[in-house]
């Protein structure tokens, strides 16, 4: 299967599953826009891990109430980050991710 470029912002490029984009669309603006900005910040800080899925948590404060989410991605040396899945999580799950340092910071980095 040939992967096609899915998103390019500034100097950051990443790819994603079609189901990832479906979920982003369901989340909708303004949270989806904010999440994509956070993912841009994450792309530069992801470690290269061969054949290992990395999981991160984040929160978008763009709407009336916070939206907590978890994303899973692959990042291998020489390839763009490839995002597999995004899902809504609870506040407690987000706090657990903070404790194990798998949550995005306010500056959109790890």
Euclidean distance between CA atoms 105 and 64, whole angstroms: 20
pLDDT of residue 3: 44
The answer to whether residues 83 and 20 touch, using CB atoms and an 8 Å cutoff, is yes
Average pLDDT rounded to a whole number, residues 81-97: 95
pLDDT in tens, 91-108: 999 999 999 988 886 555
Whole-structure pTM value:
0.82
The answer to whether residues 8 and 38 touch, using CB atoms and an 8 Å cutoff, is no
Q: What is the mean pLDDT of the chain?
A: 86
For 13-99, the fitting CATH number among 3.30.1370, 3.40.50, 3.30.2310, 3.30.70 is: 3.30.2310
pLDDT in tens, 30-45: 999 999 989 988 888 8
Q: Where are the domains of the chain?
A: 13-99
pLDDT of residue 63: 86
């Amino acid at each position: 299967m040939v992967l096609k470029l899915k998103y390019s912002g500034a100097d950051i490029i990443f790819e994603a599953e079609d189901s990832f984009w479906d979920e982003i669309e369901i989340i909708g603006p303004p949270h989806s826009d904010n999440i994509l900005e956070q993912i841009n910040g994450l792309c530069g800080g992801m470690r290269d891990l061969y054949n290992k899925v990395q999981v991160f948590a984040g929160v978008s404060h763009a709407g009336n109430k916070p939206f907590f989410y978890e994303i899973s991605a692959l990042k291998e040396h020489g390839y763009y980050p490839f995002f597999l899945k995004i899902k809504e999580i609870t506040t407690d799950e987000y706090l657990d991710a903070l404790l194990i340092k798998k949550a995005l910071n306010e500056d959109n980095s790890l």
